[in-house]
Amino acid sequence: MMVAGYSLTTVAAAVLAVFCIIELGLTAHVANRTGDFSPDSINFLIFSSVWSLLVLAYLVLAPRFLPRLFHRFAPAALLVVTSLFWFAGAIAAADRLGTPDGCSRNGLCRSWQAGVAFAFFIWAIFTAVTVFEGLELRKHNTSATAKMQTQPGPTPYANA
């Protein structure tokens, strides 16, 4: 499936990168404001954001620039682990936060709520990409993320 000339996997990787950067900012803000008493669930979401950015960099760059380091099963394994990290982190952060009624207009609490919401969005997107990757691997015995590097993007000019 193509979106504006790009594969769905490429678009999902771009959206995930943006969401992970937003999540990193939100959770780092909460960790900074809580100081030395930063909850473990927030620290885990910070780790998950950095881990996800590294995984996305590997999935996007390795097939093109380091093909010897790219194994056909590596994307599926990395995506499964990353999906599990996000699910665990989002559940832990939501549990630690508690009910939404106690937040009122507290900026720290609102940042935490936004971080939990983004964590669940990221988990859902990573899970969808994992399912697509698994289906592609089962169907063609190749990686969908490797294919996203071989498909040309749109040409900016007709005669370029």
d(CA 114, CA 25): 11
pTM for this predicted structure: 0.82
pLDDT in tens, 81-111: 999 999 999 999 999 888 767 676 777 888 8
Helix, strand or coil, per DSSP, at residue 5: coil
pLDDT in tens, 14-51: 999 999 999 999 999 999 998 888 899 999 999 999 99
Q: Return the residue matching tokens 């040309």.
A: 152
Give 107-110's long-range contacts (Cβ < 8 A, gap of 24+): 108/29, 108/30, 108/33, 108/34
In 10 A of CB 111, how many CB atoms? Answer: 19
